[in-house]
Structure 1
Amino acid sequence: MFPKKLISFISHEFVFIFGLILILFIKIIELNPIFIDNSYHKLYFIPANIFSEFLFGRFEFSFGDILYLVLPFILFTQIKKNHTRRKNIFIIIKFSLLIYIIFQIQWGLNYHRTDLHKKLSLNNNYSFELLLKETKKIINKTNQIHKNLSNNDTLALNLNFDRKLIINESIKSLEQVEFINNHKIPKNIKISTFSTINSYMGFSGYINPITLEAQINNNTPDLYLPTTITHEISHQLGYAAEDEANFIGILSCMKSENDFISYCGHVQAVRYLLNEIFNANNEEYKEMVMELNLGVKKNIAAASAEIDEYKNPLEPLFKKFYDKFLKINNQPKGIKSYNSVVNLIVNYGINP
């Protein structure tokens, strides 16, 4: 009996120590963005992504969502089998170490890649005048596309499009982004099993860091659906930072040959730009809003009303938790990282 207990103790200790060594190794790798870009991303992440699409892409449902349901059940079952606190603590520690290590290897190291603005040799700041200039350009193009689609600048655009078509055209638009055209773009995106839950939490999409599947919230308004799709696929391509995924998502839609997808991309860009102007100068913000077609403003208002249906007292708590998660994962601005997309839009100088 004694040797059996000793072997069990040594086994637990070995797993714990080995897990800590792996975490230390991961932390060292995080300090070297060039190694992550040239070795981890190219030699591991891209092949893993291709394999993931081959393995899970054939299924309509999200295998990753099933994992979210199964893993807690497995942990609970293992704990229930034991009757000692010590064993249960070891089980929880081993389970947590395993999930953390898999998360970092499969996905988390992408948070430590070289910043996109450095790769594209962009400035990391901009003047208010440049912000106004780029906003006016994009508003003019947004108005033009809207009028082409609606034939009347005061009417909201009819957004009753086939969702499968929207998904296919949104994915196709990523081919228009020059600096990611050396990637194999995933062709599959899943509808989240937890769409209603995500709506109440305030999330329109997510990537599963274990299976690398991209999921979208099926309740996302059609106006924001294309940029949500391209945002999540940008994550699949290894752009973990939210501002970078936002930028690629918006840029690809703006460049789409499909006018509806392009319209959605331009509207999303305008929303972020106007929000930045509002924070800096309320009078300039009012003037810019006046330049938007009334029909565009109606589309934005209708989409916002759809989202507001799910507003609830718990949403800020979920956002606060996600804010902490992002800060832990090398995004010091937390949830405000989404708004940093303005820096990339303005300095990239998107040519409408």
Structure 2
Amino acid sequence: MKRKFLLPIFLIVQIILVKTIGLFPDFVEKWYSNGFYPKLAFLSRSILGKLPFSFGDVLYFVLIVLLVRWIWKHRIGFFKEWKNNGLAVLSWVSLFYFFFHLLWGMNYYRVPLHEKLQIEKEYSQQQLEVFIEKMILKTNELQLAITKNDSAIVVIPYSDKEIYEKSLAGYKNLPEDLKEFSYENKSIKSSLFSLPLSYMGFGGYLNPFTNEAQVNYLKPKYTSPLTTCHEMAHQTGIASESECNFIGFITASKNDDLYFQYSAYSFALRSGLNNLDRIKKGSSKPYLAKINKGVIKNFNENEIFWNDYQSPITTFFEYFYDNFLKLNQQKDGMEGYSKFVGLAIGYDEN
């Protein structure tokens, strides 16, 4: 058999193997998510975490340059040589697929967190309204404690580097039933691609090949503590976006720093209000009057930022990532981000 067929055939074998193993989440949980992966992740973060820049972003940049160069080189007669070019593309896809699942991606197939904690993730409108009331009280309390003025916007005084350092404290305060997601050896970076990430609609991402947590440093800083804790949750082996939001919320709210707590509770409040509006449009309005004006100003700051970067690029990447998640056991797609509210309600009631 010619070598050019090996990697494309290997891709088919990999897909079958991954999907078959994925049918046994207990196996994935024991041997990968709590076996092989933590050791690999610890090693990756120990080495790359010491670098002052994002090695993963540099790697992506080099690969993008090589891809553009390859496309340019083969632009003439590309379709005439469709078989060879197609095999070359499939070979690269095969390599990416292999390293993605080996280094991080198998976590998509682990046991869901709500099953491990034995909590319900579905909730009624009444439960959601009770949750929103709790979040309003806590968010207002924190905003007033920080600013001493219920109409003042919260401005985090820390640098990005200080936020990344302080994020570790929340993971040290995890409740006993979540201790398996404890975190050591920090590897958190401000993404070199923060401008493209803004147009793509992302506040951050985990590089699955280097295990570096990447944070978009351009977005409103009051949201950065929660985003950082979210990306750190990915590093601990959680693939689900809703579960990462939940762990991010828990760790930021358990942090002794008031700014981290505010980032957590204001995020949970905003998510709860959005979910209530999905149940019945306009049903969040009565609750807005109960929220401190300073909190509303922070919400507006965040909304204005993302609206300024809204473009067809955003729509494309949201569509792409939505389908990527659905192909990887996340049936809710992008909606999964807001599903953490159910986990928070279930965990609180339990």
TM-score above 0.5, yes or no: yes
Measure, in 2, the Cα distance between the counterparts of 1:203 and 1:90. 32
Deviations 1:157-213 (A, max 9, x none): 233433322222223212222244233434120111111111111111011111111
Residue 214 of structure 1: SS of its match in structure 2?
strand
Q: Which has the larger radius of gyration?
A: 1
Deviations 1:83-104 (A, max 9, x none): 9654433322211111111112
Measure, in 1, the Cα distance between the counterparts of 2:54 and 2:159. 21
Equivalent residue letter for 2:314: E
Partner residue in 1 for 2:137: 140
Deviates more, 1:83-92 or 1:121-130: 83-92
How far does residue 348 in structure 1 lie from its aligned partner after superposition? Answer: 1.2
How far does residue 329 in structure 1 lie from its aligned partner after superposition? Answer: 1.0
Partner residue in 1 for 2:153: 156
Measure, in 2, the Cα distance between the counterparts of 1:76 and 1:296. 45
Shift in alpha-carbon separation, 1:350–1:271, aligned structure 2, 3 A: farther
Measure, in 2, the Cα distance between the counterparts of 1:275 and 1:162. 30
Q: Percent identity of the aligned residues?
A: 33
Shift in alpha-carbon separation, 1:85–1:123, aligned structure 2, 3 A: closer
Number of residue equivalences: 343
Deviations 1:286-323 (A, max 9, x none): 22111111111112212322333222233112211111
Shift in alpha-carbon separation, 1:90–1:280, aligned structure 2, 3 A: closer
1:1-352 matched pairs, under 5 angstroms = 9-74=1-66, 80=73, 85-178=82-175, 179-182=177-180, 183-281=182-280, 284-349=283-348
Equivalent residue letter for 1:58: K
Measure, in 2, the Cα distance between the counterparts of 1:282 and 1:90. 49
Shift in alpha-carbon separation, 1:318–1:14, aligned structure 2, 3 A: closer
Shift in alpha-carbon separation, 1:264–1:14, aligned structure 2, 3 A: closer
Measure, in 2, the Cα distance between the counterparts of 1:174 and 1:229. 12
How far does residue 72 in structure 1 lie from its aligned partner after superposition? Answer: 4.0
Contiguous gaps of at least 5 residues in structure 1: 1-8
Contact 1:253–1:264 at 8 Å: present in 2 too? Answer: yes
Deviates more, 1:28-37 or 1:152-161: 152-161
Residue 190 of structure 1: SS of its match in structure 2?
strand
Deviates more, 1:278-287 or 1:298-307: 278-287
Measure, in 2, the Cα distance between the counterparts of 1:350 and 1:296. 26
Residue 220 of structure 1: SS of its match in structure 2?
coil
Residue 224 of structure 1: SS of its match in structure 2?
helix
How far does residue 282 in structure 1 lie from its aligned partner after superposition? Answer: 5.0
Shift in alpha-carbon separation, 1:197–1:97, aligned structure 2, 3 A: same
Measure, in 1, the Cα distance between the counterparts of 2:315 and 2:9. 37
Measure, in 2, the Cα distance between the counterparts of 1:137 and 1:337. 22
Contact 1:185–1:237 at 8 Å: present in 2 too? Answer: no
Considering only aligned residues, what root-mean-square deviation do their CA atoms show, in Å? 2.3
Equivalent residue letter for 1:288: Y
How far does residue 337 in structure 1 lie from its aligned partner after superposition? Answer: 0.8
